[in-house]
Amino acid sequence: MENRPEYIEQNFDFIVAKGQNPERIDVYLTHSVQNATRTKVKRSIDEGRVLINGKIAKANTKVAPNDIIQCKILKPPPMELIPQNIPLDIVFEDDHLIVVNKPAGMVVHPGYGNRYGTIVNAILYYLGKREPIPIVVNEEDTESESDEEEIDEATIFGSEEIRPGIVHRIDKNTSGLLVISKNTQVHIALSQQFHDHTISREYWGIVWGKLPESSGTIEGLIDRSPQNRKKYAVAKRSGKTAKTDYEVLEEFEFASLVKFKLHTGRTHQIRVHTAYLKHPILGDDLYGGNIILYGGQSNYMRSKAQKCLQIAQRQMLHAKTLGFIHPVTNQEIYLDSELPQDFKDLLEFLRKGMEE
SS3 state of residue 141: helix
Q: Enumerate residues 6+ apart whose C-beta is below 8 A from 142.
A: 79, 112, 151, 152, 155
Peptide bond into 164 cis (omega under 30): yes
Identify which of 88, 98, 108 has the alpha carbon closest to the alpha carbon of residue 153.
108
Q: Which of 67, 171, 284, 342 is catalytic?
A: 171
Distance CA 257, CA 138 (A): 44
**67 part of the active site:** no
| Beta-bridge partner residues of 257 | 206, 250
Distance CA 99, CA 5 (A): 29
Q: How many CB atoms lie within 10 A of CB 353?
A: 12
Q: Are 318 and 174 in contact (CB under 8 A)?
A: yes
Distance CA 239, CA 256 (A): 29
Q: How many CB atoms lie within 10 A of CB 49?
A: 17
Half-sphere exposure of 115 (CA within 13 A, CB side): 22
Residues involved in catalysis: 171
